[in-house]
Amino acid sequence: MTKHIIITQGRKVSWRTVNGKVLDSSEKLHRKYKATMRNIADFTAIIASPHRWHITLLLPGGGENWEEDIKTIKKFLKEFGKRFAKKFPNGWYIHKLEYSHSPGIHLHILARLGEKKPLEEVSTGFANWWRKITGSKETGLCHVEPYSIHQFGYMTTPKKRHDTMFLLSQMKGQHIWGVLNRKAIKFAESHEYQVTREDFDAFRDNLSELLDEATTSESHRAYLDNDNGSLYYVDKEVQESALKSIIGKGRK
Q: List pLDDT tens digits, range 191-232.
A: 888 888 999 888 888 888 888 887 666 667 777 888 888 887
Q: For the chain, give every domain's residue range.
A: 4-45+189-243, 53-184
Describe the crossing of helices 197-214 and 236-243 by its angle, rounded to 10 degrees.
Answer: 140
In this structure, which amino acid lies at residue 161? R
In the chain, the largest separation of any two C-alpha atoms, in whole Å, equals 65
Distance CA 66, CA 166 (A): 11
Distance CA 149, CA 140 (A): 23
pLDDT of residue 180: 97
Q: What are phi and psi of 132, to 5 degrees?
A: -70, -40
48 within 8 A of 188, measured Cβ to Cβ: yes
Q: List pLDDT tens digits, range 55-66.
A: 999 999 865 677
How far is Cα of residue 41 from the mean position of the Cα atoms in its chain?
Answer: 4
The CATH class of the 53-184 domain is alpha beta
In this model, does residue 178 exceed pLDDT 50? Answer: yes
**Nearest partner of 239 among 8, 37, 54, 29, judged by Cα:** 8
Residue scoring higher pLDDT (40 or 130): 130
**Nearest partner of 11 among 230, 167, 176, 243, judged by Cα:** 230
pLDDT of residue 171: 84
Residue scoring higher pLDDT (50 or 70): 70
- Tell me the pLDDT band of 31, cut-offs 50, 70 and 90: confident
107 within 8 A of 95, measured Cβ to Cβ: yes
pTM over 0.85: no
In this model, does residue 22 exceed pLDDT 60? Answer: no
Q: List pLDDT tens digits, range 73-115.
A: 999 999 999 999 999 999 999 999 998 877 889 999 999 999 9
**Strand, helix or coil at 63?**
coil
